[in-house]
Amino acid sequence: MERIKTHRELKVYKKSFEVAMKIFVLSRSFPKDETYSLTDQIRRSSRSVSSNISEAFRRRKYPKSFVNKLNESEAEAAETQNWLDFAVACQYISQDQYKEFDEEYENIIGMLVNMQRSPEKWSI
C-alpha cells in the first residue's frame, strides 16, 4: 500500500471538505438575521473539521499531538451536528436534509475515531 503524502488524499478530509461546502451552499438560504449567529457558527465548525484534519496530518510524527488534533476535529463535527439541530428546529432545513447531513457527520466521526484508535498506522 502506497503511503499517503498529503492530507488532501485522506478520505476523511475529502468527505469533511465536501460536506462543509454543501453546508456553505445550504446556509446561503438562512435568514439574514442569522448571519452572525447560526450561519456563521455552522460554517465555522464545519470548516474546522477538515482544517483540524490538515493540522493533525502534519503532526503525525507526534502521536499524542496527532490524536489531539483528530479529537478536536471530532468535536467540531459534533458541534456542526448541534447547529444542524438548530437549523432543523428553526425550519431552515428539511428533515431529509438534516438526516443526510447528520449521517454524513456520523460517518466522518467514525473515521476520525478509527484514526485515533490506531495512530501508529499514520505515524512517520
Domain spans of the chain, in order of start: 7-117
* Sign of the torsion formed by the C-alpha atoms of 56, 123, 104 and 13: positive
Q: How many CA atoms within 13 Å lie on the side-chain side of 78?
A: 10
pLDDT digits (tens, 9 = 90+) for 34-55: 988 999 999 999 999 999 999 9
- 7-117 under CATH 3.30.750.24, yes or no: no
> What is the reported pLDDT for 51?
98
Number of H helices, E strands in the chain: 4, 0
Does the pLDDT at position 1 exceed 60? no
pLDDT digits (tens, 9 = 90+) for 54-103: 999 999 999 999 999 999 999 999 999 999 999 999 999 999 999 999 99
Return the SS3 of 6.
coil
What is each CA distance from 108 to 39, 49, 117, 124, in whole angstroms? 21, 9, 14, 23
Listed residue (40, 44, 52, 72) closest to 7, CA to CA: 52
Please report which confidence band the pLDDT of residue 2 belongs to, taking 50, 70 and 90 as the band edges.
Answer: low
| Cα-based torsion angle of the residue sequence 93, 97, 103, 107 in order, rounded to the nearest 10 degrees | -90
